[in-house]
Amino acid sequence: MSVRENIEAVQQRLASAATRFGRSVSDVSLMAVTKTHPPERIREAYAAGLRLFGENRVQEFSGKASALSVLQEADWHMVGHLQTNKAAKAAELFRAVDSVDSIKVAEKLNSAAHAHNKKLNVLIEINVGGETAKSGVSIDSPELEELLQSVPKFDALEFRGLMTVPPFTEDPEGARPYFRQLRALRDQIASRKLPAVSMDVLSMGMSHDFPVAIEEGSTCIRIGTAIFGERTKQ
């Protein structure tokens, strides 16, 4: 199937999942995750109507950026783990960073955003499964509270919500408890009405499990394989 056909299939499944739970299709954004995929495939997705894109690695996207500069309406998000030494480049390349997982990263991004005279939208990445191999703030860690309390000082960042990658299970239903945890955390944080903290975005769900994520309240699904096919090995 072509990229366009794959996108149409994903959109149909997105609409079906939203309808089952009485949600509007417009409440869920479809992000194409472009890790390892070449510019020509990304341009196909853009031609098919997608405007929201996610990249996992600063260095990889830096190498693609010039070839993708013609996609003037593309909205580029950094969705992979961000090292502090890559924060300055990330602030230059992306409109949003969806994987903030520490005060140090937020500090570096804030300084870099000021240097580029821009505002960056950010999400806090939550490690819902407590997996040591994954980045993200543990759901019950003091670091999360410290980050939330520090938000007002990051005046070049707009904290918009939460993101997660749950533990992988063959059965997509295995992700449901983790999606529910993230939604509950979002609701709990939102109820506190913390200064400068918005909880409008709940980024969860990928090619394997996105219908379940939508049923559990996701507002943004991050789709790579179901759009572009299997990743090229690097």
CA distances (Å), origin 162, targets 63, 70, 77, 198: 28, 30, 14, 10
Q: What is the CATH number of the domain that holds 79?
A: 3.20.20.10
Secondary structure of residue 133 in the 3-state scheme = coil
The answer to whether position 175 is within a domain reads yes
Q: 217, 22 in Cβ contact below 8 A?
A: no
Residue 19 falls inside a structural domain: yes
The verdict on residue 233 lying in a domain is: no
The tally of CA atoms less than 13 A away on the side-chain side of residue 177 is 6
Element of type H or E holding 44 = helix 39-47
pLDDT at 233: 56
Instruction: Tell me, yes or no, whether 159 lies in a domain.
Output: yes
Q: What integer is the mean pLDDT of 176-192?
A: 98
Write the CA distances from 145 to 85, 101, 124, 135, 189, integer angstroms: 24, 12, 11, 17, 10
Tell me, yes or no, whether 205 lies in a domain. yes
pTM greater than the 0.75 cutoff:
yes
Q: pLDDT tens for residues 220-233?
A: 999 999 999 987 65
**What total number of domains does the chain contain?**
1
Whole-number pLDDT of residue 221: 98
Residue 99 has pLDDT above 70, yes or no: yes
Model confidence at 51, pLDDT cuts 50, 70, 90, reads very high
The Cα–Cα gap between 168 and 52 comes to: 24
Within a domain: residue 234? no
pLDDT value at 218 more than 90: yes
| pLDDT reported for residue 132 | 87
Return d(Cα 16, Cα 144) in angstroms, integer: 34
The answer to whether residue 142 sits within a structural domain is: yes
Q: What are phi and psi of 70, to 5 degrees?
A: -70, -15
Domain of residue 92: give its range: 3-228
Contact 122, 109 (CB under 8 A): yes
Q: What are phi and psi of 197, to 5 degrees?
A: -110, 115
